């Protein structure tokens, strides 16, 4: 396959590009490098440093490169920023997302895999979260992802777009080559490791939640397991694949949770990180962070069933260990 990966210079995108190249596919990365890193794009992929939101230019690129399928990883993805500046999220995620879908339609690209998020569910009534859990996002980030998922579904029915939307839970870990570098960094595991490096003190956002140890529980999934799922999802969009539409029937838009299926508390993460780095990690307890639901854990049964996928690197030690090893090799992130 010839695959366009938007956001292929970002964290999830770059590890997915590695996986696609390994499987023998040709990869074109479309990334404006606003949050991505040129050095994250493997040598085997062709980087086009531009925005996916320019419909005409993207349609030309799809035609010129004879692209068969799109993996759309690019997006704005910070919950707090989305609340402070929703316009940016609607413009980049929704307006940009529709421009990309339109470019695909113009260029006749009928296969699409979309990076969605567990944030589409909001605060669920029950755990684990299945794909039938109502979608009630509580921030513009989740809302804009849901809006693009909705558009994709209608494109399936009307224009025959075959697609899989993948609702990521908490992505963690690193490949040999690529890891997580965000500025600002808001995520737990990078913040724990920064504290281990002596750069900051970790703040635990609340210990009074209705959970066994009082801290929030999340479902962490290794970025390499996510990359495996992307490859399988792209395969499921093949023109003759009944998973995205039987012959003679309208195309189908699939939505699948990608999580480990297991929950870990903030303290579980801290303790596992202390085992990985072999020393105590400085931390303090702070107040709750606004908008954090107590427990978010995926049911991954549908992804297992439909894609034949299973998370293979499912211990916190593997995820944190790979992130730690990567940070030790990249003391300044992607800067040389
Ligand atoms: N968290 C924390 N300290 C931090 C960052 C995160 O205690 O410096 C907590 C946060 O409140 C949440 C969990 O860790 O309960 C995971 O947060 P993260 O931002 O990594 O992912 P989210 O689940 O919000 O997408």
* pLDDT-derived band at 14, boundaries 50, 70, 90: very high
C-alpha separations of 304 from 149, 163, 169, 256, 259 in Å = 21, 17, 15, 9, 10
Which of the residue ranges 5-9, 181-185, 231-235, 275-279 would you say has the lowest mean pLDDT? 181-185
Cα of 104 to ligand 1 centre, how many Å? 35
C-alpha separations of 102 from 58, 151, 212, 219 in Å = 9, 11, 48, 34
The pTM for the full model equals 0.97
Cα of 37 to ligand 1 centre, how many Å? 24
The per-residue pLDDT for range 246-271, each reduced to its tens digit, is 988 999 999 999 999 999 999 999 99
Does the domain formed by 188-218+261-329 have CATH 2.160.20.10?
no
Residue 56 pLDDT more than 90? yes
170 CB near ligand 1 (under 6 Å): yes
Mutate which of 289, 293, 298, 320 for ligand 1? The one with the most ligand atoms within 8 Å of its CB, which is: 289
Per-domain residue ranges for the chain? 2-171+222-258, 188-218+261-329
Specify the ligand 1 atom closest to the Cα of 119: 25
Cα of 288 to ligand 1 centre, how many Å? 10
For the chain, give the percent of residues with pLDDT over 70. 100
218 CB near ligand 1 (under 6 Å): yes
66 in Cβ contact with 107 (< 8 Å): no
Rounded to whole angstroms, the Cα distance separating 234 from 238 reads 7
Hey, which CATH number is domain 2-171+222-258, 3.40.47.10, 3.40.309.10, 3.40.50.720, 2.60.40.10? Answer: 3.40.50.720
The per-residue pLDDT for range 272-313, each reduced to its tens digit, is 999 999 999 999 999 999 888 899 999 999 999 999 999 999
Catalytic site positions: 141
The per-residue pLDDT for range 119-153, each reduced to its tens digit, is 999 999 999 999 999 999 999 999 999 999 999 99
Cα of 203 to ligand 1 centre, how many Å? 10
Query: Token pair for residue 308?
Result: 């034949």
């Amino acid at each position: 396959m010839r695959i366009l990966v938007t956001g292929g210079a970002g964290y999830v995108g770059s590890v997915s590009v590695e996986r696609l190249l390994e499987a023998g596919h040709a990869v074109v990365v479309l990334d404006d490098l606003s949050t991505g890193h040129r050095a994250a794009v493997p040598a085997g992929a062709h980087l086009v440093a531009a925005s996916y939101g320019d419909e005409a230019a993207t349609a030309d690129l799809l035609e010129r490169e004879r692209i068969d399928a799109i993996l759309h990883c690019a997006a704005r993805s910070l919950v707090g920023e989305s609340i402070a500046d929703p316009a940016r999220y609607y413009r980049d995620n929704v307006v940009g997302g529709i421009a990309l879908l339109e470019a695909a339609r113009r260029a006749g690209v009928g296969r699409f895999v979309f990076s969605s998020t567990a944030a589409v569910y909001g605060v669920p009534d029950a755990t684990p979260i299945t794909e039938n859990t109502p979608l009630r996002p509580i921030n513009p980030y989740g809302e804009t992802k849901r809006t693009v998922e909705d558009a994709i579904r209608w494109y399936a029915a009307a224009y025959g777009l075959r697609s899989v939307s993948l609702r990521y839970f908490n992505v963690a870990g690193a490949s040999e080559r690529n890891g997580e570098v965000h500025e600002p960094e808001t995520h737990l595991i990078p913040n724990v490791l920064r504290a281990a490096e002596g750069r900051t003190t970790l703040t635990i956002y609340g210990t009074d939640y209705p959970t066994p140890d009082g801290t929030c529980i999340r479902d962490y999934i290794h970025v390499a397991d996510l990359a495996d799922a992307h490859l399988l999802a792209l395969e499921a969009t093949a023109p003759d694949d009944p998973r995205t539409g039987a012959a003679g029937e309208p195309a189908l838009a699939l939505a699948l949770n990608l999580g480990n299926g297991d929950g870990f508390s903030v303290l579980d993460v801290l303790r596992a990180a202390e085992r990985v780095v072999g020393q105590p990690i400085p931390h303090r307890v702070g107040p709750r962070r606004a908008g954090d639901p107590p427990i978010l854990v995926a049911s991954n049964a549908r992804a297992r069933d439909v894609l034949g996928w299973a998370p293979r690197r499912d211990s916190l030690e593997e995820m944190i260990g790979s992130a730690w090893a990567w940070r030790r090799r990249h003391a300044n992130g992607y800067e040389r």
